[in-house]
Structure formats: C-alpha cells, structure tokens
Amino acid sequence: MNLSFEWVNLKIEDTVLSVKTAFADSDEVPRLLGRTDVFNHFRITFDERKLETILETLST
C-alpha cells in the first residue's frame, strides 16, 4: 500500500484549518481523524451508542 501526504484546508463549521492529510491507494484503509492538526482546536466526543461524533470549538 502506498501513501501520499498533502496539506488540505478542512472546514468545520466556522473554523478552517490547514491539516496534513494522508491518502492511501487502497479502499481497505479506514478513515481516521488525526490528532496532530485537529484535536487541539476542538473538544471531540465519540458516542458509540448513537454512532455520533461531536466536535465543539475550543475557545482561545
């Protein structure tokens, strides 16, 4: 499997972030939300029972 890394602009509500993103040449790789450029901007809740992911912007 080959990976390519690119910087992309990610918009979540009113927040736009430039995040380093990896693309795989295989459909067998699950989608992942990385910690490096996203987690420090949001409070993230994974509710497995409701199958929901909730992102709340952190105040600076």
Residue with tokens 């929901």: 52
Apex 37 CA angle, 29 and 42, nearest 5: 105
pLDDT tens digits, 12-51: 888 899 998 888 888 888 777 677 888 888 899 999 999 9
User: Can you give the residue range of the structural domain that contains 44?
Assistant: 3-25+32-57
Residue with tokens 């992309």: 8
**And the tokens for 4?**
């390519």
pTM given for the model = 0.60
Question: In the predicted model, is pLDDT for residue 7 greater than 90?
Answer: yes
> Does 30 or 54 have the greater pLDDT score?
54
Q: What is the DSSP letter of 6?
A: E
Domain count, the chain: 1
